[in-house]
Amino acid sequence: MDQFFQIALNPTCDTSPPFDQKDMDEFLAMVTAALAAAPGLSFVRAVYLISEQMTKAALQEDDRGFVCNRGCGFCCHQLVSCTELEWVEIRGFLVSLEQKRRYHVGKALKKLRGQFMEYIRTHPIKKSDAETSMKVRSHWAGKPCPFLGQEGECVIYPVRPFECRAYYSTEVCTDLLPGHMTIYPFVWQKIASTVLVDEQMKLLPEGAEIPYLPLPFWLDTDELLKI
Ligand code: SF4
Ligand code: SF4
């Protein structure tokens, strides 16, 4: 298990985030207000909601010319990571899908998990750093996410991991990680990502490694296939 914890992927590899505690507190205050306004909303969904609202408003004034739209899909051909709290949301959503679709997604997830386990077995992770992160990501670049539907749609769109909400491009991508792609273009996206990890950390013993892991780590596909 330690190996998995060592793949703590920070997509932007920031060493000094462009925000401080005050920014975090302001963001958290908005999350708290969203939770109070919608009983039953989970913390994760509230973070998604606030970040999406802020991003939507900002995109209307942003002059960088992002062209991202439903169905592009190139940014969905890579290994995505999330916290366990986010995975709980995904799992709940998958359970709510109709049985046939759930079965197909479950099979794709099982295949990915098998490939991932084999990769870890043959490429032991020695340390958690930007170089290792890029190496792992490069290996998985080009491989479709198991949640990518046949028409390029995200099957779990409402609960897609936060990392999936971070990719923007000024041209429709024709390959992965081209020069015109940017990750976390808005500072509150980095804040939201940090807030999610912090919330997860509260549930862990003190000193535990950051629980931000590739999707296959969280999968319990046999259970999903049986439901
Ligand atoms: S980052 Fe590229 S592939 Fe992803 S949605 Fe934007 S344009 Fe499409
Ligand atoms: S979870 Fe959805 S948005 Fe994220 S990579 Fe997979 S298909 Fe794309």
- Between the CA atoms of 207, 213, 216 and 220, what dihedral angle is there, to the nearest 10 degrees? 40
Name the pLDDT band for 226 (thresholds 50, 70, 90): low
142 in helix, strand or coil? Answer: coil
pTM of the model: 0.86
pLDDT value for 143: 87
| Minimal-distance CA residue to ligand 1 atom 4 | 75
pLDDT higher than threshold 50 for residue 115: yes
Whole-number Å distance, alpha carbon 168 to ligand 2 midpoint, is 13
Q: What is the average pLDDT across 82-102?
A: 88
pLDDT of residue 220: 64
The larger pLDDT score, comparing residue 47 to residue 114, is at 47
* Ligand 2 within 6 A of CB of 108: no
Nearest residue to 18 (alpha-carbon basis) of 198, 196, 191: 191
Report yes or no: 157 and 90 within 8 Å, Cβ to Cβ.
Answer: no
For 44-55, what is the mean pLDDT?
96
Percent of the chain with pLDDT over 70: 81
Q: Are 75 and 181 in contact (CB under 8 A)?
A: yes
For residue 100, give the amino acid letter.
Answer: K
pLDDT digit string (tens) for 4-25? 433 444 455 566 678 888 999 9
pLDDT above 70: residue 196: yes
pLDDT, tens digit, 9 for 90 and up, residues 117-158? 888 888 877 766 667 777 887 888 888 888 888 888 899 999
Q: How far apart, in Å, are the Cα atoms of 139 and each of 32, 75, 126, 211?
A: 39, 15, 16, 21
- Cβ-count burial of 37 within 10 angstroms (0-12 exposed, 13-18 middle, 19+ buried)? exposed
- Residue 201: pLDDT band by 50, 70, 90 thresholds? confident
Output the residue whose Cα is nearest ligand 1's atom 5. 68
CA 171–ligand 1 middle distance (angstroms): 8
Rounded to whole angstroms, the maximal C-alpha distance in the chain is: 49
Calculate the alpha carbon distances from 193 to 36, 54, 179 in Å: 21, 14, 23
Checking DSSP bridges between strand 181-183 and strand 81-83, what pairing results, if any? unpaired
Domain boundaries of the chain, sorted by first residue = 2-6+68-226
Alpha carbon distance 2, 123 (integer Å) = 14
Ligand 1 centre to CA of 222 (Å) is 31
Residue 68: nearest ligand to its CA? 1
Tell me if 224 sits within 8 A of 94, measured CB to CB: yes
Mean pLDDT of the 49-73 span: 88
- pLDDT computed for residue 212 by the predictor: 65
Structure tokens belonging to residue 25:
């507190």
Q: Round the average pLDDT of the chain to a whole number and report it.
A: 82
Alpha-carbon radius of gyration of the chain: 17
- For the segment 80-98, the average pLDDT, to the nearest whole number, is 88
Beta carbons of 155 and 148 less than 8 angstroms apart: yes
Whether the per-residue pLDDT at 2 is higher than 50: the answer is no
Say what the pLDDT of residue 1 is. Answer: 34
Q: Closest-lying ligand to the alpha carbon of 154?
A: 2
Q: How far is the CA of 170 from the centre of ligand 1 (A)?
A: 9
Ligand 1: which residues within 6 Å by Cβ? 67-68, 72-75, 167-169, 172-173, 181
Could you identify the residue written with the tokens 């971070």?
166
**Cβ neighbours for 116, distance < 8 A, ≥ 6 positions apart:** 79, 214, 216, 217
Q: What is the pLDDT of residue 176?
A: 65
